[in-house]
Amino acid sequence: MSNQTAVTEFLLLGFSDVPELQILYFNVFLVLYLISLLGNLLIIIAIALDRHLHTPMYFFLINLSILDFGSISVTIPKFMVNFLMNTSLISYYGCVAQVFFHIFFASANFALLTIMAYDRYIAICQPLHYEMVMNRETCVQMAASAWISGILCSALHTGNTFAISFCGGNIVDQFFCEIPQLLHLACSHSYLGEDVVISLFMLLSLICFVFIIVSYVQIFKTVLRIPSEQGQHKAFSTCLPHLIEVSLLLFTGTFAFLKPTSNSTSDLNLLVAVLYSIMPPMMNPIIYSMRNKEMKGALRKLIGWRLRSKNKMSIFLH
């Protein structure tokens, strides 16, 4: 225990020490963070205010936006605070919290995407039973199961990571506390622990991925039997954003965890970390708002309402 707690803080050395490049990274991260927060916040507000969107699909979408909101807030704010305070340090327990919440939001996110695939399957393949199967109580329970599974998965991986003793220094070659990088600091050989973490993540991802694939195989079979092209297009349009989102998360996540971190360059590790931790939360609002007519309509109403409110306020003040 004394060896483990000897490390009281970690040094995050993810980016260049050149001041000009640090300013560039800060500005880029700030823009990406604001885009993600604004996009997810607009989706949450638009769905909450539009009664036509009070359906299971959009209930799950609100949960997804909340998870994305939290996911990107785990890593970027700490990086920006460190930049403003001219430091690269993060406390031991701050690192524990960062690992826990990062894995929690990622695990719950993928579990929720699996649930959303099931929702689309029932809506398209069994439309007559949709309201009975996807009632309010069931939706709440399914969403809660995604959050709980994220907590359990995160607790398992975080506990496994910080149960080891750190005696390989305290320098983390990343802009946040990432498990593979932390395992390199373990007293014992870290490859076994790294393989266990990757195997558990990949097993969970594989189960969810197979379920999603099976659901969409059935969905495509049903859609192709629809006689009208308009009906087929409408069915596909409700599934396409979800498919793009799952593909984005799977591609970035799989590449991150299958990449041999021990032999990877620092720049490649940073690029992969940015791809899987920042891009999905930022792209999800764009994907759903661009490919979903109902979502675009709700956003236009929200923006129009805000503009009218500002005009009325300006007229009142004058």
What is the domain-level CATH number for residue 119? 1.20.1070.10
Confidence at residue 317, expressed as pLDDT on a 0 to 100 scale = 45
pTM comes to: 0.83
3-state DSSP assignment of residue 228? coil
The model's confidence at residue 33, banded by pLDDT at 50, 70 and 90, is very high
Give the model confidence (pLDDT) of 251-309 as tens digits.
Answer: 766 666 665 555 555 667 777 778 788 888 888 877 776 656 667 676 777 766 555 55
Sign of CA dihedral 213, 216, 222, 227: negative
Tell me if 175 is assigned to some domain: yes
How far is residue 289 from each of residues 65, 185, 259, measured CA to CA in Å?
Answer: 12, 42, 32
- pLDDT-based confidence at 4, cuts 50/70/90? very low
3-state secondary structure of 35: helix
Taking the CA of residue 161 as centre, how many other CA atoms within 13 Å lie in the half-sphere pointing to its CB? 28
Tell me whether residue 133 is in a domain: yes
Percent of the chain with pLDDT over 90: 21
Instruction: Please write the tens of the pLDDT for every residue from 207-233.
Output: 888 888 888 888 888 888 877 777 777
Question: What CA–CA distances, in Å, run from 269 to 178, 180, 197, 259, 276?
Answer: 10, 10, 17, 9, 11
Question: pLDDT per residue over 231-246, tens digit each?
Answer: 777 777 767 777 777 7
Q: Would residue 297 count as lying in a domain?
A: yes
Beta bridge partners of 14: none
**Do 64 and 109 meet the contact criterion of CB atoms below 8 Å apart?**
yes
Q: Using one digit for the tens of pLDDT, what is the confidence trace for 60-96?
A: 999 999 999 999 999 899 888 888 888 888 999 999 9
Tell me: pLDDT of 46 over 60.
Answer: yes
- Give CA–CA dist 79/15, Å, rounded: 10
Helix %, strand %, coil % of the chain (to 5): 80, 5, 15
Place of tokens 């707690």: 5
AA letter at 253: G
- 15-18 LR contacts (CB < 8 Å, sep 24+): 15/175, 15/270
Amino acid at the residue 91: S
- Give, as one character, the DSSP assignment of residue 86: T
pLDDT at 22: 79
Q: How far apart are CA 147 and CA 156, in angstroms?
A: 14
Three-class DSSP category at 235: helix
Residue 60 confidence (pLDDT): 93
Q: Which of 7, 15, 93 is nearest to 273 (CA)?
A: 15
Question: Which of 16-25, 66-75, 180-189 reaches the highest mean pLDDT?
Answer: 66-75
Q: Cα 236 to the chain's mean position, in Å? A: 24
**What domain range includes position 247?**
2-313
Sequence-separated (6 or more) residues with CB below 8 Å from residue 150? 103, 104, 105, 106, 107, 108, 109, 111
Is 318 within the bounds of a domain? no
The answer to the question of residue 147 being in a domain is yes
Please say whether the dihedral angle defined by the alpha carbons of residues 184, 187, 191 and 193, taken in this order, is positive or negative: negative
Looking at residue 112, its pLDDT comes to: 92
Into how many domains does the chain fold?
1
Tell me which DSSP letter residue 88 carries. Answer: -
72 token code pair: 């990107």
With a cut of 60, say whether residue 194 has pLDDT above it: no
Q: Mean of the per-residue pLDDT values for the chain?
A: 80
